Structure 1
Amino acid sequence: MSLDLNAIKLDKQYVVECIDTHTAGEPLRTIVAGIPEPQGQTMLAKRRYCQSEYEHFRRALMFEPRGHADMYGALITQPEHPSSNFGVLFMHNEGYSTMCGHAIIALTQLHKHANTHNGHEEVALSIDTPAGTIHSFYRDDSDIVKFTNVPAFVHCLDESVHLPLYGQVSCDVAFGGAFYGFVNADELDISLSLDNHSELISVGQQIKAQLAPKLNLDHPDADMNFLYGIIFYSNSQLHNTEHFSRHVCIFAEGELDRSPTGTGVSARVAILHQRNQLKKGQSVFIEGILGAGFHVAIDALCVAYQRDAIVPVVSGQAYITGTHQFYLDPQDPLIQGFILR
């Protein structure tokens, strides 16, 4: 049967336009049109507005049948600061996060596709997020994108939780745009392989449930003070033995990040620096569960949030996978979506 897509008439008020990308395998659905600008003078205020008013949009675009349990999204907004290029809010299967490194890389790559510059000159963007303003950089003659993240710091080292099947589990907790608990997968004897994804999700959720109540998180912005995810790491389970480490992050409501997590690698280097395992200016490559990943380095030492911190620089690659015109039919009984795992 021949079908002319142009012959299908859709009510434009129910159309949402998106561009899909992936960064080291982790998806990003960027919403570029069809959702009204969220209210609020700051990105944190816009985030709170979305939490109270835009849940129907999040569920419709992240959940099945348009998305899936591990879909991730970004909503482009007006910037908080006049000097910034744009603002962005991040969403997933549970709600709205505060910063996302893989999304920053993808959004910077989209900006590159939409604009033509001198290939030898570095183009700088300022992107407002709930965690703060992120500075990202690209050149037309390179597929590498890098960004300077908000300051990262260690909250605590060697916090312990107990799991029935694993006993005592040691966790380091650090902030890299969001708070993460870090667990040495080798000490647990747990595989960071694709075929072990179900166990990683289950154990990650168990650790998060045990660890979160024990933490007195103290970021100055109260909206930041929640444990976003658990990152399993290994310096031996590597796709490429020249890489430094592998990360598998379980975040939100059991999402498994395909990338090593941009904010996660930022938090990890803060831990490495505090343990005297990484110095200012040193760069390491951290891979995700698929083998692709990010370079991350300590650009500077600083004092932020009334504590010693580091300034991470993360670089990686992102690719466009498709464009969409989603139709949110108000008569659809499943408009709010659903998730099956």
Structure 2
Amino acid sequence: MKIEKAYSTIDVHVAGEAFRIIRNAPFIHYQSLKELYELFPQAYKEEQTLLLNEPRGFAGLNGCLVVPPLTREADAAVVFFNHDGTMPIHYGGLAAVVTALLECGHLRERASNQYLIETVGGVFPITAVMKGEEVVSVKMESGFCEVMGTKECVTPSLANHTLVQSDQVYAVFRKQDFPVDIQVEELADLRRWGQTVLPSLSPDVKGAILVDESRIDEGHIRSITFRDDLLIVRSPGFGPTLAAFTSLLSSGSITNQVSLVNESIFGSQLQVQVLQQQESRFQFTMTCRGFITGMQTFILDPTDPLAAGFILK
């Protein structure tokens, strides 16, 4: 075995969605986080494929490159990426990064529980509460979310849906319009639903959300989200959760509950609260918890015929 490169990572899941945090990627020159963000697809292409693709990764894995902050008041800076490229913001990634940095001692615990993480989308304040050596709660604020419009469709397989802008654009569908339940036992039928719906949506739409609102009076929904690459989001999803509740709040199906909970098909949950409303726009606070699942060292053997990896969907 030859070792050409080695990478140390911390793996964290947040409500079932997996993140691989990298702190020792090769150095490159940049003068701003925006410049690093723009350089990332070319400068770190090898790291992206090596650490996210199988056999070291898998189709649903997200990456977080942590670097020293460029903004004086920030505690750390991060660039988010997945198999397709970089993402300006990933709320779940913020929770994963804060959890990993605090629990591994790379960030000192503060009595205030307040931390600042720099992203290309700005500096985000995070409240992370520790008990002993564990982060037991992470709380943050979202940007504003709003309904972009409602599509009335005559095609039975598509049905009416709402377009919502949260972290990206989602199409929100109601489960009652389709003969399928959001249960693991019906995963095959749900996958067929996603494969039917997504090709019919505008290219601007990055995900389709199916929402079961049968417990909406309790402030509780159940949902499943399909990304535009047909993969299922492995958690309730922060962006999808905000989009689903923005749709329900805008339609009057729900009022500003004290606590709103979105449950995934696998039973994991995300909790949000309405922070403020400006006409038809809503801002939320989100509460979650991350769990470290592993600390690993990955190597690149130059003789490995699968050095670039592969993806099975």
Letter in 1 for 2:211: Y
Letter in 1 for 2:116: S
Alignment gaps of 5+ in structure 1? 1-8, 214-225
Q: Once the two structures are superposed, what CA deviation does each residue of 1:109-140 show, in whole Å capped at 9, x if it has no partner?
A: 2233124536xx44112223344432211122
Change (3 A) 1:295 1:55: same
**1:145 aligns to what SS in structure 2?**
strand
How many residue pairs end up in the alignment? 308
Are 1:94 and 2:77 counterparts?
no
The counterpart of 1:315, out of the listed 287, 300, 303, is: 287
Q: Once the two structures are superposed, what CA deviation does each residue of 1:179-224 show, in whole Å capped at 9, x if it has no partner?
A: 21111123112222223334434432442332124xxxxxxxxxxx
Distance 1:246 1:207 in 2: 19
Q: After the TM superposition, which residues 289-300 of structure 1 pair with which residues of structure 2 at under 5 Å, given as runs?
A: 289-300=265-276
Comparing 267-276 and 14-23, the one that deviates more? 267-276
Comparing 131-140 and 330-339, the one that deviates more? 131-140
**2:182 aligns to what SS in structure 1?**
coil
Q: Cα RMSD over matched residues?
A: 2.8
User: Per-residue deviation at 1:327?
Assistant: 0.5
TM-score, length-scaled by structure 1: 0.80
**2:160 aligns to what SS in structure 1?**
strand
User: Per-residue deviation at 1:237?
Assistant: 8.3
Residue 24 (structure 1) aligns with:
15
Distance 1:161 1:56 in 2: 43
Are 1:287 and 2:263 counterparts?
yes
The counterpart of 1:149, out of the listed 134, 142, 146, is: 142
Distance 1:252 1:80 in 2: 33
Q: After the TM superposition, which residues 155-304 of structure 1 pair with which residues of structure 2 at under 5 Å, given as runs?
A: 155-156=148-149, 158-160=150-152, 166-213=156-203, 226-236=204-214, 244-280=220-256, 282-302=258-278
Residue 82 (structure 1) aligns with:
72
Change (3 A) 1:42 1:151: farther
Change (3 A) 1:190 1:122: farther
Distance 2:301 2:251 in 1: 53
**1:102 aligns to what SS in structure 2?**
helix
Comparing 314-323 and 250-259, the one that deviates more? 250-259
Distance 2:29 2:228 in 1: 22
Alignment gaps of 5+ in structure 2? none
TM-score, length-scaled by structure 2: 0.86
Residue 3 (structure 1) aligns with:
none
Residue 223 (structure 1) aligns with:
none
